[in-house]
Amino acid sequence: MPEWIDIGVNLTDAAFDNDREAVLERAWQAGVSQMVLTATSLAVSHQVQSLCSENPDRLFCTAGVHPHQASQWSTALAAEIRLLAAAKCVRAIGECGLDYNRDFSPRPMQIKALEAQLELATELQLPVFLHERDASAVLVDVLRDYRDRLPGAVVHCFTADREALYPYLDLDLHIGITGWICDERRGSHLHPLVGDIPAGRLMIETDAPWLVPRTLRPKPKKGRNEPAFITEVATTLAQCRNESIEQLSVHTSATARRFFQLPPV
């Protein structure tokens, strides 16, 4: 069975409160060997570490603050994130970045929080797990000052266009692809683009419980995505790249293991 590493799972979300263990078991049965749980705030950074402690060989996480919560950034918050990031299960700083689509936090505050987390990542020599919406040019400008000092950076849930992708690749960033690519309404522009992402720079994720692949049949109840559905993302991604499922599995899993410094299962 092909092996998958899901690099972006929101496992602390309330959508999983009633059956989290069953969700994990279905993922293992589907070939998911390991997951990176996404932290989006101080509270979630604590919560993902608690989950990782229950399955330390297969669950890992990030520590950081999402741009939606950037207005909460402070010196005290930075100190707490730094302490949390020292945990063995933490393999990246984030989810941090810029969201100029929803603008839930003022843009100057988003940049301030991002730069602070990039500094932390360079200090701790951890890669960064990046969020970007409608802000690729600004993100590239910010990252240029840090890229040489960062061990790695992945733009998670890439949904943008060629004008965003090529500067990211020029900066030696990694790219995470989700079920967005399975959405015929808004993701078909990704089909010709994903073939331009070199093996070694591409990773795969579900962003569960969001972004359920629209190609999935039967459709899950309540539209909830889960890590087991990564195989649906992989099927579309492999077709778009003219690769076999096995080829995609081998290089995306090797890339994720190397990027997040994950142990063999």
| CATH domain 4-259 topology | TIM Barrel (3.20.20)
Average pLDDT over residues 160-174: 97
Give the tens place of pLDDT for each residue, 15-32: 999 999 999 999 999 999
Query: Quick one: pLDDT at residue 194?
Result: 98
Query: Quick one: pLDDT at residue 81?
Result: 97
Average pLDDT over residues 47-62: 98
List the chain domain ranges: 4-259
DSSP state of 93: E
Give the tens place of pLDDT for each residue, 114-135: 999 999 999 999 999 999 999 9
Q: How many CA atoms lie within 13 A of 200 on its CB side?
A: 3
Those residues whose C-beta lies under 8 Å from the C-beta of residue 25, and which sit 6 or more positions away, are none
Query: Quick one: pLDDT at residue 152?
Result: 98
Say whether 175 sits in a helix, a strand or coil.
strand
Those residues whose C-beta lies under 8 Å from the C-beta of residue 141, and which sit 6 or more positions away, are none
The span from the CA of 57 to the CA of 12, in Å, is 18
Using 50, 70 and 90 to split pLDDT, how confident is the model at 222? Answer: confident
Query: Quick one: pLDDT at residue 72?
Result: 94
Using 50, 70 and 90 to split pLDDT, how confident is the model at 253? Answer: very high
Q: Is it the case that residue 265 has pLDDT exceeding 90?
A: no
Say whether 4 sits in a helix, a strand or coil.
strand
